[in-house]
Amino acid sequence: MIRILPACAFVLILVSAYFYLPARRLIVYKLGVSGDTTTSCCNEDILSKTGDFDESANIAFFNGKEIDYPKTSLAQNSFYSVRDSLVLGKDSDSEDERWIEVSLKEQVLRAWQGTDIVMEFPISSGLWYPTPKGDYQIWYKTRFQRMTGGSKELRTFYDLPNVPSNMFFYKGFAIHGAYWHNNFGVPMSHGCVNAPLANVAQLFEWAGPKVPEGKNIVKATDNNPGTRVYVH
């Protein structure tokens, strides 16, 4: 009898953990049995074709709960553009290569120009689905983008209109602003790289491809290439 007590206690702990939602979420996502088919913050099929600010959106959800949606401040920023020469404090005509480093271990993003770090700030990478490691290039940019996904049952559901400053570097994975949390420095997302609004707005203007004046989207081309993004 005494011998089986530790085993029973272990089973009881496992069962209790499974029915405790925060623990259950971590377990089922880690094992890949969550039923959540969201594998990036934004499906490629629903990428914005205009990148315009959606005035009709008035509500936002994160982790299954309605959140404060800063529509007014986001709308004001939709008309704001940072001059490239002032963005990160280095000569915009410099021929030094621009590239972006995302450290998943440190939860930090660094913008490099040649061998100089011109910007550094905390980020939140994938919690429920891992941010893919690798060497990429930004292939598509949108100033604003609706993002939806997650699981209502597990309370990871999100419906976030007007996500700002989106830089897609691999399929539907992007570096983008996050207005729904301020917990940068720890993983929080479905695979994208969440960043503070002010920092990512500067990065958006600095990184290629350059968005043509009067437009809110751009796709990388040979003549307007995307900035390299190294995720490790």
- SS3 assignment for 37-70: CCCCCCCHHHCCCCCCCCCCCCCEEECCEEECCC
* Active-site entry in 41, 42, 190, 192: 192
* Active-site entry in 8, 176, 181, 190: 176
Closest CA to 205 of 122, 113, 92, 51: 92
Q: How many residues does the chain have?
A: 232
Instruction: Determine whether 192 is an active site residue.
Output: yes
Amino acid at 10: F
Closest CA to 39 of 156, 162, 185: 156
* Cβ neighbours, 10 Å, residue 32: 9
Cis peptide before 161 (omega within 30 of 0): no
Question: 3-state DSSP call for residue 201?
Answer: helix
Asked whether the beta carbons of 99 and 112 are under 8 A apart, the reply is yes
Question: Which positions ≥6 away from 113 have C-beta within 8 Å?
Answer: 88, 90, 94, 96, 97, 98
d(CA 9, CA 7): 5
Q: Which residues are catalytic?
A: 176, 192
